[in-house]
């Protein structure tokens, strides 16, 4: 146990270091952007109206004061870390004065709902089918399934999204192609709203799942293909253990460990949002928010989203690393 405790402390130290370095890189990259949020605001404000040059000069000065951009980079750097320490990313510059945390909080449930479901579904289906295909290598049905999912896998998910959009939005218009729920439906936890959310998520979900299954499928199939040649599997077969038990308890269980690691990494990554899926289907979420923020030069919001994402991915990896030694005694922690 002391060894595990030392491992835990060491691993947590690495976590803090990764987050610190990641957030610093995010800070300097966003502040190195050539997009100036003040100029973006001025452009948006004056592009349609008749605003005199003198007024624009005054507006520029007022916006720099308002957005708190007067100090140098060092001043902004320390102010940023001070805010992060209080779990505050400051106001969004492109939706001023609304706090960044409010905007993230509003978008996160949609992204999390869609991507957690898509990731879990792809993971479960991919691993199950991959495990079966690796074990029952002579099954025609499983070979056909493998052919299908591996055929879909290399297709960029946005291409598949457009295909789904055209098939189910235009050729056979049976599914909604826009938004997270029906218009004018009160946002509350009742059957109508939940049903509408589910229906609106079918196409975005399919575009992610159909492409996502392939990776898990191939990984699991090759893992299983290796494991079935192990001595203990041969002994189990010779010992008369049922094929189903061999598959579930001897083969897939052992093959699952690296897949669980991959799952944790994928779940951590959901905080980036599925940018193109959200754009194509007009689905609310962090991806669209991030793109808008980048275009607007809203580095408060970009930093907020990237910081959340960095912490999420690092936490997922940390969690897996901490659980691994408990689940798999072969893991070296010394």
Partner 1 sequence: MRLWRMFAISAVLCLLGVGTYAQEEINSLPRNETLIAENPEGTIKNAGWFNIWAINAGGQSTGLQQLAMDTFWYIDPEKGIDGVWENSLAADKPIYNADFTEMTVKLRRGIYWSDGVEYTADDVVYTVQTHLDNKGLRWSAPIQVNVASISAPDPTTVVFKLKKPNSRFHALFTVRWNAMWIMPKHIFEKVGDPGKFAFDPPVTLGAYKLHSYDTNGKWFIWERRDDWQRTSLGKFGEPGPHYVAYIDPGPPDKRVILQFNHQLDIIHDTSPEGMFTLAKQAGKTSHGWFKGFPYAHPDPTLPAVIFNDQNPLFQNRDVRWALALLIDIKAVSMASYRGAATISAIGVPPTGTYPEYYDKPMEAWLKDFELDTGKRTIKPYDPTEGAQIANMLRPSMGDQIPTDPDRIAASFGRGWWKTDPQAAAELLQHAGFTKQGDRWMTPDGKPFTIHVTVEGDGRPVMTRAGSMIAQEWRQFGIDASTVVAQGTMADRRGAGDFEAMIAWSVETWGGHPDLSYFLDSWHSAFVAKQGETQTPRNWQRWSNPDLDKIIEQIRGISFDDPEGVQLGLDYLKLVVREMPTIPLMSYNVFTVMDETYWTGYPDAVSAPYTDPVPNWGNSRYMMVKLKPRQ
Give yes or no for residue 133 binding partner 1 (CB under 8 A): no
- Of 126 and 297, the one with the shorter C-beta distance to partner 1 is 297
Closest distance of CB 8 from partner 1, Å: 40
Contacts 24+ apart (CB under 8 A), 96-99: 96/66, 96/67
Number of C-beta neighbours around residue 90 at 10 A: 20
Give yes or no for residue 331 binding partner 1 (CB under 8 A): no
Give yes or no for residue 182 binding partner 1 (CB under 8 A): yes
Q: How far apart are CA 319 and CA 132, in angstroms?
A: 29
Contacts 24+ apart (CB under 8 A), 320-325: 320/260, 320/261, 320/264, 320/265, 321/11, 322/8, 322/11, 324/257, 324/261, 325/4, 325/7
Instruction: Please report the DSSP string for 313-334 in residue order.
Output: HHHHHHHHHHHHHHH-TT----
Q: Which listed range, 69-77, 131-139, 208-216, 278-286, lies at the site for partner 1 (CB under 8 A)?
A: 278-286
**Please, is 74 exposed, middle or buried when counting C-beta atoms within 10 Å of its C-beta (0-12, 13-18, 19+)?**
exposed
Give yes or no for residue 99 binding partner 1 (CB under 8 A): no
Rule CB under 8 A: choose which of 166, 194, 326, 327 binds partner 1.
166
Give yes or no for residue 327 binding partner 1 (CB under 8 A): no
- Which positions from 236 through 255 interact with partner 1, judged by CB under 8 A? none
Give yes or no for residue 144 binding partner 1 (CB under 8 A): no
**177 SS3 class:** coil
Closest distance of CB 305 from partner 1, Å: 12
Closest distance of CB 276 from partner 1, Å: 10
Q: Which residue has 């269980």 as its token pair?
A: 253
Rule CB under 8 A: choose which of 2, 49, 72, 329 binds partner 1.
49
Size of the site for partner 1 (CB under 8 A): 74
Is residue 102 reached through a cis peptide bond, with omega within 30 degrees of 0 on the bond before it? Answer: no
Closest distance of CB 304 from partner 1, Å: 12
The 5-44 site mask, x for binding partner 1 (CB under 8 A), equals: -----------------------------xxx--xxxxxx
Q: How far apart are CA 182 and CA 199, in angstroms?
A: 9
**149 SS3 class:** helix
Q: Which residue has 């936890």 as its token pair?
A: 189
Give yes or no for residue 48 binding partner 1 (CB under 8 A): yes
Give yes or no for residue 185 binding partner 1 (CB under 8 A): yes
Closest distance of CB 271 from partner 1, Å: 17
Give yes or no for residue 53 binding partner 1 (CB under 8 A): yes
- Which positions from 73 through 92 interact with partner 1, judged by CB under 8 A? 92
Q: How far apart are CA 181 and CA 183, in angstroms?
A: 6
Give yes or no for residue 63 binding partner 1 (CB under 8 A): yes
Degrees (nearest 5) of the Cα angle 13, 311, 334? Answer: 30
- Which positions from 192 through 221 interact with partner 1, judged by CB under 8 A? 192, 196, 199, 202
Closest distance of CB 48 from partner 1, Å: 4
Rule CB under 8 A: choose which of 68, 269, 282, 325 binds partner 1.
282
Contact partners, residue 231, CB within 8 Å, separation at least 6: none
- Of 115 and 228, the one with the shorter C-beta distance to partner 1 is 115
Give yes or no for residue 180 binding partner 1 (CB under 8 A): yes
């Amino acid at each position: 146990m002391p060894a595990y405790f030392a491992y835990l402390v060491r691993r947590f130290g690495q976590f803090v270091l990764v987050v610190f370095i990641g957030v610093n890189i995010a800070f300097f990259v966003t502040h190195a952007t050539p997009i100036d949020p003040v100029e973006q605001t001025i452009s948006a404000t004056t592009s349609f109206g008749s605003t005199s040059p003198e007024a624009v000069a005054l507006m520029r000065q007022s916006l720099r004061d308002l957005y708190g951009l007067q100090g140098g980079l060092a001043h902004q750097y320390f102010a940023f870390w001070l805010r992060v320490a209080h779990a505050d990313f400051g106001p969004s510059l492109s939706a001023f004065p609304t706090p960044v945390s409010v905007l993230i909080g509003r978008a996160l449930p949609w992204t999390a709902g869609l991507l957690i479901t898509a990731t879990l579904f792809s993971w479960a289906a991919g691993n199950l089918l991959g495990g079966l295909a690796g074990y029952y290598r002579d099954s025609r049905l499983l070979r056909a399934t493998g052919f299908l999912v591996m055929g879909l896998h290399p297709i960029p998910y946005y291409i598949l999204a457009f295909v789904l959009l055209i098939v189910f939005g235009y050729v056979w218009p049976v599914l909604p192609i826009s938004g997270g729920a029906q218009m004018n439906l009160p946002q509350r936890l009742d059957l109508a709203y939940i049903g509408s959310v589910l229906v609106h998520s079918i196409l975005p979900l399919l575009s992610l799942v159909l492409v996502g299954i392939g990776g898990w499928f191939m990984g699991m199939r090759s893992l299983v293909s290796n494991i079935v040649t192990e001595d203990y599997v041969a002994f189990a077969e010779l010992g008369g253990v049922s094929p189903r038990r061999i598959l579930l308890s001897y083969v897939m269980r052992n093959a699952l460990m690296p897949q669980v690691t991959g799952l944790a990494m994928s779940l951590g990554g959901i905080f980036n949002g599925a940018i193109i899926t959200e754009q194509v289907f007009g689905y609310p979420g962090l991806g669209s928010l991030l793109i808008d923020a980048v275009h607007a030069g809203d580095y408060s919001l970009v930093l907020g989203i990237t910081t959340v994402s960095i912490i999420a991915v690092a936490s997922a990896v940390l969690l897996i690393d901490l659980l691994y030694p408990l689940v798999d005694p072969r893991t070296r922690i010394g």
